Amino acid sequence: MTVFQAASKTAPRAEKWVVIANAIAATVSAASCVVALADPGVLLQGGTPGGGIDLYVQAYAVRQLPLTAAVLACLTGRYRRHLVPVLLVSGIVQAGDALIGATSGIPGMAVGGTVAAALHLASAARWGKRRTPPAVSA
């Protein structure tokens, strides 16, 4: 059963879309990371790779890929008691990515990081008020 099918069965309609939005945000972050690993120049938007960009991309991958796995695992239900702290960490990381993107002139990173940070942090705040956050069963 996919996350989307399970969400429709166990979470209220509004919750389903918040779960799906968080899953999409985490997955897009991981996909961006994989693209950057394949071609670090993508981050530079036409600039020449060098000056530590390879090290940055590797550090990005070491952080983002496990974080995405943790977010997705928590959203599926098995680890739902960990959802709020994982979303808090992911939101803070995304806010950092947005700041790096803004100060480095990478608009996609700035905008994407801002949207993902806002979504993860707002979801953590909303679900943090409950005893157990909603989750979908896998």
pLDDT confidence band for 1 (50 / 70 / 90) = very low
The residue among 104, 127, 123, 103 whose CA lies nearest residue 115 is: 123
CA distance 80 to 109: 28
Q: Is the pLDDT of residue 3 over 80?
A: no
Q: What pLDDT, in 10s, does the model give residues 88-107?
A: 999 999 999 999 889 988 88
pLDDT of 31 strictly over 70? yes
- The answer on pLDDT for 129 being more than 70 is yes
Q: Report whether pLDDT(16) > 60.
A: yes
Examine the pLDDT at 6 and tell me if it is beyond 70: no
Q: What is the pLDDT of residue 93?
A: 95
Q: What is the pLDDT of residue 5?
A: 46
Mean pLDDT of the chain: 82
Other CB atoms within a 10 A radius of the CB of residue 14 amount to: 9
pLDDT of 53 reads: 78
CB 136 within 8 A of CB 6: yes
Question: What pLDDT is stored for residue 49 in this prediction?
Answer: 60
Please give the average per-residue pLDDT across 113-135, as a whole number: 84
pLDDT in tens, 36-56: 888 887 766 655 566 677 788
pTM confidence score: 0.78
